[in-house]
Structure 1
Amino acid sequence: MKIALAQVLSTSDPQHNLAIIRDNAKQAAAAGASIVVFPEAMQVAFGNPVASFAEPVNARWAGIIRQQARDLGITIVAGMFTPGENGRVRNTLLAAGRGVDTHYDKIHLFDAFGYQESDAVTPGDAPVQFELDGTTIGLAICYDLRFPRLFLTHAKAGAKISIVSASWGAGPGKAEQWKALAQARAMDTTTFVVAVDQADPESVGHQLTGTAPRGVGYSMVVDPLGQVIAQAGREPELLVVDLDLDLVDRAREKLPVLKNMVEL
């Protein structure tokens, strides 16, 4: 399976962000990818009043994503915001195209490093997987990467790939943690982990203030034994990677961690 990682910078303008998604999805489709993955917060970047932009998954913004996916013959995964409880939103990952139409609401909220996502976001309560070309794929968002149980749930449901869309907060050691956690979740579950972050705004000269997480870059694909097989830098970049899905079966034969796991 060819999968594209669109490491981009979303903006305060949902319409412009749709153009970013369309342009990168078009390039991904031309490169032969069957799925293109974007970061979280693609509808509108963090640091903006996200509640004023939140829409249901059956409304206009998500509908345009579905139309782009149909027009290009590719599956698109992209982060958006949907209405939550008591004026809050849900941090949602939409997957649409080629027989796929589902969404995942982020379960683990980023109340860490001086940022309180729960002030503005209602947590989700259910893991989500979907099937593409006979392969089961699990969905996760940013801070979820620190919680192995979600990825184990995906693997036990048959997932060979876990997608993580992020707007990873910058700070000392945060880029190193991003890589280490992606590798750990791949090794925990002997699955491919496809981790797609927003590009680092400073890489293109943007100086940001406040605590809103905006991205460090370094989107990557980690194989089932923990090897990073493709990685972007800090700048906007489109990576197209051909995944050998048989490697999952071979890894699980050599290292049957899922079978050996003891529930404590």
Structure 2
Amino acid sequence: MRVALCQVAATADPAHNLALVRDGVTTAARAGARLVVLPEATMARFGTRLRDVAEPLDGPWASAVRETAAASGVTVVVGMFTPGSDGDRVRNTLLVTGPGCDTRYDKLHLFDAYGSRESDTVEPGGRTVVVDVDGVRVGLATCYDVRFPALFTALASAGAEVVALPASWGDGPGKAEQWDLLVRARALDATTVVVACDQAEPRAAGLEPVPGAANGIGRSCVVSPLGEVRDRLGAAPGVLLADLDVAEVRAVRARLPVLEHLRAVPAVARTTTDRPG
């Protein structure tokens, strides 16, 4: 299966960002891609008032993405914001739409770290999602989810051979190195291919970053089930194409059956001394 990672730099304007989606999907489809992955927060970048842009999945923005995917005959994974259940917060949603597939994944783990409080404006999701794309099982995760290995092993245990990981990764000391390490570690943990698509670094796209927001650093990449980076983009917008062979995933799992060996972790003993009797 050919996959395209469309690394874009979203703005605060959903209409402008929809044009980026259309251009990326059209370019990817012409290059033979069957799965097109765009970043988290493609609908509107972080630093935007999210309640003002959030729309339901039958709203105009998602409907336009759906029409673009249908016209190109590809499956699209793209980050948007949908209304939450409490009226005050939104959901950080991945829309997944294409031939025989139309669903959502709402980000499970919210970025309350490094001084950020995503949970102030975003409501967490409550389910994991694996979809079928041309017979390949694709799991879904979003940005901060990459710091939680159990999600990736759960997706793999549910049949995922590939995990699509849209992101809008925050910049800062050591953050690029953490991104590189984490995407590789999660691929190896779960013996899956990870296709990680981040927002482009704003200045590399001719934009000013939003102070204090997770703007993206680029570095979108494709990682093998043994944690090897097969290809990577730089900081600027671009499209990365990769041909995935799920037979490799199955071969790796036959040699390294960590999913079969996975056990529930027992409770930690409170004593450091075991006494007979």
Q: How far is 1:206 from its partner?
A: 2.9
Q: 2:54 corresponds to which letter in structure 1?
A: A
Work out the CA distance in 2 between the residues paired with 1:195 and 1:158.
Answer: 19
For 1:28 and 1:253, how far apart are their aligned partners in 2?
Answer: 32
How far is the alpha carbon of 1:175 from its aligned partner?
0.7
**How many correspondences in the alignment?**
264
Aligned-partner Cα distance in 1 for 2:46–2:123: 15
Q: How does 1:90-129 map to 2 (within 5 A)?
A: 90-129=91-130
Alignment of 1:52-67 (within 5 A): 52-67=52-67
Runs of 4+ in 1 over 6 A off after TM superposition: none
What is the TM-score when the length of structure 2 is the normalising length? 0.94
Equivalent residue for 1:27? Answer: 27
Q: Which residue of 2 aligns with 1:194?
A: 195
| 1:232 and 2:229 are equivalent in the alignment | no
Contact 2:79 2:166 in 1 (8 A): yes
- Could you say which residue in structure 2 is the equivalent of 1:182? 183
The residue number in structure 1 matching 2:274 is none
Give the % identical residues: 51
1:22 CA drift (Å): 0.4
- In structure 2, runs of 5+ residues without a counterpart are 266-277
SS of structure 2 residue aligned to 1:168: coil
Distance (whole Å) between structure 1 residues aligned to residue 263 and residue 67 of structure 2: 45
Shift of 1:200: 0.6
Provide closer, same or farther for how the CA distance between residues 245 and 121 of structure 1 changes in structure 2, counting only shifts above 3 A: same
Counterpart of 1:67 in structure 2: which amino acid? E
Instruction: Write out per-residue CA displacement over residues 57-104 of structure 1, whole angstroms, 9 at most, x where no aligned residue.
Output: 121111111100011111111000000124110000000011110100
- Give the match's secondary structure for 1:115: coil
Does the CA-based 8 Å contact 2:93-2:105 persist in structure 1? yes
The secondary structure found in structure 2 opposite 1:112 is coil
Any conservation in 1 of the 2:191–2:226 contact (CA below 8 Å)? yes
> For 1:132-151, what aligned pairs fall within 5 Å after superposition?
132-151=133-152
Residues in 2 aligned to 1:153 and 1:139: alpha-carbon distance in whole angstroms: 11
Shift of 1:14: 0.6
Residue type of the alignment partner of 1:194: V
Task: Using structure 1 for the length normalisation, give the TM-score.
Answer: 0.98
Structure 1 portions without partners, runs of 5+: none
2:273 corresponding residue in structure 1:
none
Supply the AA of the counterpart residue of 1:55. Answer: E
Amino acid across the alignment from 1:137: V
Equivalent residue letter for 1:226 = G
Q: Which amino acid aligns with 1:230?
A: D
Q: What is the CA RMSD across the aligned residues, in angstroms? A: 0.9
Cα separation, 2, equivalents of 1:147 and 1:209 = 27
Deviation per CA, 1:125-182: give whole Å up to 9, x if none: 1111111111111111100000011111110110000011000000011011111000
Corresponding position of 1:14: 14
Larger of the two Rg values belongs to structure: 2
- For the residue of structure 2 that corresponds to 1:153, the secondary structure is helix
Taking the aligned partners of 1:96 and 1:2, their CA distance within structure 2 comes to 16
Q: Deviations along 1:179-236, whole A, 9 cap, x unmatched?
A: 1000000000100001000001122343324211010100001000010001000110
Deviation at 1:262? 2.1
Match of 2:43 in 1: 43
